[in-house]
Structure 1
Amino acid sequence: MPILITFLAVLALLVLIIWLKWHPFIALILVAIGAGLALGMGTTGTMEAIKGGVGGTLGGLAIILGLGAVLGGVIAETGAAQVITNRLVEGRKGMAVLWGLCLVGFLVGIPLFYSVAFVMMAPIIISASEKTGLPLAMVAVATVASLSVTHGFLPPHPAPVLISDTYGADIGKVLLYGLILAIPSVILAGPLLARTLKNMPQTKGALAFDKVKLPEQLPGFGTSLLCALLPVLLLGAGTLVQSFVGGAADGSTAGFSPLSLITDATFALLVGVLFAMFVLGRQTDISMAHLMKRVGKQLAPMAAVLLIIAGGGAFKQVLVNSGTSDYIVQSLEGFNANPILIAWLIAAALRVTLGSATLAAITAAGIALPLAQSGAASPELLVLATGAGSLTLSHVNDTGFWLFKEYFGLTVPQTLKSWTMMETIVSVIGLVGCLGLSYLV
């Protein structure tokens, strides 16, 4: 019965979000209430689970996503992202442009949220296609693959951070393992897949782009790169040092520990934001006061994202409090499958049906939570497997599908051959990588 109710709840989400066009936040809260009552939690138990799920989900996540949005805004508005792009693409021709844009997409995609990075990179992709004569879909795939990988695998993007919190994973290790998986994923789903699209007819970007007003004096390349990657460097370095010095030095005991502070994602992002504002502000002659005034505008788009995540957290908590997630995982144990594969399959099924990668990851994390609690697999690898599954087989119910199609003037079949294939390759490589790493960590 719990499995049937969960299936009907997910089906209700599909009807409300896809066919009736309801906002995901409203749909998630309504379905969470209905599922809780149907699972016998009663009115009080259901509402307590929803409130607890919202609060628990947004706890530290809201700060991380907020700081990540601000850092991305500073990197874009000071021209640092443009400087990185120009340096890595300038002077390249033909296929070399694809590799340059792939690297640009990866570096820009780490600090910038997917939608921001996509809109910023789209004019560059179109311009590169016109200059080289390469099919636009070919250039777009080589670039956007990097954005997709960072969105699905690497903190501080919403899904990896949220799933890490749900599974109790070490976010520093998630970042390190994610970087290991990102390299083959980006190469195979980016430039190598792009080569198979060289005979696709040339198209033109169908949308006009607003020119971002950059400062007259742009920052240096080295400074731009450092500011964009500083939080990643702090988290990665801190985690590596911590793995060598052992648990005794991780700050778990009472007192102040610089190492434990550096390996905290919130602190790393805060340092990154302040450092970028100060250094990039000085190099571009933009005052700290002016950059601080822009924070409100940079945070505004995160409101809708946070509410959707909160709704997903509410639904997840209903499944957890009712014991449904335990029941589902216990049922799956009969298949004798690897927990990493189970987490990937759950996320992939939800991705195909719900469309949204973030929503699929959130919901899958709630269902697969007992897998992490059982200790049968590394929680960090479960995070990445869930994130990978949430990227698979994007099609017509995904807003990312239509964004890619319309921006680059493609037909639906062309988008399926390029975007959908790219997303699926990233997802499968992520799964294979997680299974491989499970024998080493």
Structure 2
Amino acid sequence: MPLLVVGISVMVLLLLMTRLRLNGFAALLLVAVSVALVQGIPVAEIPEVLSTGIGDQIGDTMLTIGLGAMVGRVMGDSGAAQRIADRLLARFGPRWVQIAMVVAAILIGVTMFYEVAFVIIVPIAFTLVRVTGANLLWVGLPMSIALSTMHSFLPPHPGPTAVAATFHASVGLTLFYGLFIAVPAGALIALLWPRLPFVRRMDPALPKGLVSDRVFSEAEMPGMAWSLSVALFPVVLIAGAAVVELAVSGESPLLHFVAFVGSAPIALLLTLLLAMWAFGPRIGRSLAEVAESCRSAAQAMAMILLVISAGGAFKQVLIDGGISDYIKDLTDGWSISPIVLAWLIAAILRIALGSATVAVVTASGVVLPLLAGSGVHPEILVLAVSCGSIAFSHVNDPGFWMFKEYFNLSVIDAIKARTTYTTTLAVLGLGGVLAIESVLDALNL
């Protein structure tokens, strides 16, 4: 039974990493090869499947995470990150620092992918932890939760946008309805989860190489205007491109140029060039010093990228092994509410495959035939699928490994923190979707 294979593979992976202390990269590849053999993937094709999974995952994340880490380290080594952190502390105070992180994450995360927004904001979180002495999860977890919610629930993020296209739903209405779910649910869990006893018992150290250990004096730090401008520069480029894409139709060289500079890798590359000048020669630091900051960040990212790429290989083995087709056949003919069915199929696929994007695309194909005669608003079904796709992030999700490595957690602690919050968000999202559909029905909209 394919789902049993998934369950056993997860347990074996946990055993290898917790009991035997095997490196995450090696453990993931070993389990991926074992699952490929059990699922009947021809031996000669297994290396290609692994390479495809690693290539797809690295292609999506290496440029984003690598460039983002370099920007963060350049800002940290120049004092720019501390300048922003100090201003947040001055405005919100240590008591309300979580509110500051949630507000920043929601505003940035509406239009930016989780990984991109994460690597932009996390240096500020690291600096706040170092300056205040607070627990890393106390500051960083609210940011991650808010970003996860925005990324999974709302267009123009790839999952919800793809489902909206399949269901011929209005992207604008989907975003409008989704905000009523994503903002309160994300803020609630972001502020609640760090206060839970099992999370408060975790006290991870700051990851080495991704944050500066130096404490800057007031005179040594660059001005707030430059610090904030560089931090927000990729946000403006990426968000601006998303807005233009939604507002303008047709083909033109200008639109292609906007899409080019608004793509995450190009936006972060331009930001890195700006940061290298603004926090280098402009303030009297040599290019050699700036280059050393970039080198340190790249060195610290090496193992993180390896683990994330191996997570992509594990995900690809599960897909090519026929797990998604099995789930489609299993759920065919279930007689339950289309909203609940859409959410449930996406959640099962997410648990089994790890990839939220694969989960939403596959689930939308299963649910599409039900849409015509269901009477459910297509935008509501988009949100149902999107909410289900965030559930139960665990070891077959490359995003899980990014969360684990950046917050310097053990596998078990990462499951306790991330798997629980993603599942709770999915359940709250389903409740919100059902509530909005009821309101729309009551108003005959």
Q: Same fold (TM over 0.5)?
A: yes
Give the equivalent residue in structure 2 for 1:73: 73
Q: Is the 8 A contact 1:189 1:423 kept in 2?
A: no
CA RMSD of aligned residues (A): 5.1
Q: Deviations over 1:170-229 (max 9, x none)?
A: 9xx9xx9699576435532355778x89xxxx99x8979984244753122222122112
User: Residues 106-255 of structure 1 correspond to what in structure 2 (within 5 A)?
Assistant: 110=117, 112=119, 118-126=125-133, 141=138, 143-149=139-145, 152-153=148-149, 180=179, 183-185=183-185, 187-190=187-190, 211-214=213-216, 216-246=219-249, 248-249=250-251
Give the equivalent residue in structure 2 for 1:343: 346
- Percent of pairs with identical residues: 25
Question: Is the aligned partner of 1:308 residue 2:307?
Answer: yes
User: Residues 359-438 of structure 1 correspond to what in structure 2 (within 5 A)?
Assistant: 361-362=354-355, 370-371=362-363, 376=368, 386-387=389-390, 389-390=392-393, 428-429=427-428
Give the equivalent residue in structure 1 for 2:111: none
Q: Name the aligned partner's letter for residue 63 of structure 1.
A: L
Give the equivalent residue in structure 2 for 1:353: none
- Do the aligned partners of residues 86 and 237 (structure 1) sit closer, same or farther apart at CA in structure 2, a change above 3 Å counting? same
- Do the aligned partners of residues 117 and 341 (structure 1) sit closer, same or farther apart at CA in structure 2, a change above 3 Å counting? farther
Report the count of equivalent residues: 391
Q: Is the 8 A contact 1:50 1:317 kept in 2?
A: yes
Shift of 1:75: 2.3
Q: Is the 8 A contact 1:316 1:367 kept in 2?
A: no
Shift of 1:8: 2.5
Q: Is the 8 A contact 2:3 2:323 kept in 1?
A: yes
TM-score, normalised to structure 1's length? 0.68
Q: Is the 8 A contact 2:32 2:314 kept in 1?
A: yes
Shift of 1:297: 0.9
Shift of 1:296: 1.5
Give the equivalent residue in structure 2 for 1:320: 319
CA distance in 2 between partners of 1:45 and 1:34 (Å)? 13
Q: Deviations over 1:60-119 (max 9, x none)?
A: 421122111111212222222211122222265686566446557778994537875554
Q: Name the aligned partner's letter for residue 148 of structure 2.
A: G
Q: Name the aligned partner's letter for residue 244 of structure 1.
A: A
CA distance in 1 between partners of 2:327 and 2:362 (Å)? 9
CA distance in 2 between partners of 1:437 and 1:271 (Å)? 41
CA distance in 2 between partners of 1:258 and 1:223 (Å)? 26
Shift of 1:32: 1.5
**Greater CA deviation, 259-268 or 108-117?**
108-117
Give the equivalent residue in structure 2 for 1:296: 295
